Structure 1
């Protein structure tokens, strides 16, 4: 239970009656539905415990490898500005934090658009950037030229996330999120500042070692909301042609 001041001021909370909890069905629900929903809730509770256990195991990893003094390129915080470009080191990406999360955007230097699925992830990350950066530094990185990365970000409305080009560096290869022929792997990577050194903590790719997917799904609200639907996720993939104007009601 949070102790934040706002928690004690909202009517939605101050009118709460001790012991009351939301119902899982309307009064019209059948007995079969109610029994099945209770079973489902138990399964959801077990899943929560498994997620917590995996998170604890992740936090318990031994110290990772030390990373070199890479220098990337970034532009102004104002996405509308074209320049100037400036160098930024891996250590400088931490800012005032001692933790850093990087989203590795699949945007090859020879492509004219980023991966649609990656773009969907960054759409969401851009929206929650102000929450993420309360606890960690955060950046979106791609090996495409910085001008291309920023141009793509403008088409998506990524006005909040820090955008960095790793072009001309071996960072992606050294980290293992680039293939032997230059293919790119979508992934989150986490790093910590250890004195004057930067250490890798964990890399979370989209695919598991056996080639199956859903390795990063917990970081996307889209897939998790789709999993609530009676028809599930469906067969469609994210698409870069979604309209970016006002939502259609």
Structure 2
């Protein structure tokens, strides 16, 4: 890709005050990009994590039957597995609106991800409730699995001791016949980080941050999304 000269970022009719501010912002954007590359490299270089149990999950198939799958089976032909821990408790009428927004994005890009990794959405809700919610949202191509009968979410830090779910992405990898934990990214950085931990994985937040008004106190809703 040809190198873009800084001048193209500044409209010809911009005054010097705007030009100086925009070029200063460009320097900050470059520094942020370089730091992001360093963090990504450090994440990839993490040493092998602990071996996980071969948990059993349940999902409702298209014909309404229940299928049970072990964690090792979720990898399919891949050596890595990305899990989105969906905030959807047993007995709840619907999933978390913000979590659902993230999974909307995964539905949109799943074909690209499938070239590189396996992908699953896991929650504590009943299999039938998960599939019904997936149909409502249009998640026709994602595996929606219930962990309501095991401790998977709690063991990976995606559920509190009281049983309350936490939104998170986890990356697991196969090491021979074992599943090893690689990395979990939560919605906020513990112990007291800003709640932007997994925001980089959703284009919604990135576009809102481009706007002059920013993201404000907006919160996603389930009422305006039709599958």
TM-score where L is the length of structure 1: 0.86
Contact 2:160-2:166 at 8 Å conserved across structures: yes
Aligned to 1:236: 218
Aligned to 2:196: 214
Aligned to 2:158: 177
Within the candidate set 49, 52, 55, 2:37 is matched to 52
The yes-or-no answer on 1:24 pairing with 2:6 is no
Within the candidate set 99, 104, 109, 1:123 is matched to 104
Aligned to 2:77: 96
Counterpart CA distance in 1 for 2:26 and 2:191 is 30
The structure whose Rg is larger is 1
Instruction: Give the secondary structure class of the aligned counterpart of 2:210.
Output: coil
- Structure 1: state its 5+ residue gaps: 2-17
Contact 2:137-2:225 at 8 Å conserved across structures: no
Deviation at 1:53, TM superposition (A): 0.5
Flag as ranges the 4+ runs of structure 1 deviating above 3 A.
18-22
TM-score where L is the length of structure 2: 0.94
Aligned to 1:62: 47
Aligned to 2:68: 87
- Structure 2: state its 5+ residue gaps: none
Task: Label 1:20 to 1:70 Cα distance change in 2 as closer, same or farther (>3 A).
Answer: closer
Alignment size in residue pairs: 225
Counterpart CA distance in 2 for 1:101 and 1:86 is 20
Aligned to 2:137: 156
Counterpart CA distance in 1 for 2:189 and 2:3 is 42
Deviation at 1:189, TM superposition (A): 0.5
Instruction: Give the secondary structure class of the aligned counterpart of 1:147.
Output: helix
Contact 2:48-2:182 at 8 Å conserved across structures: yes
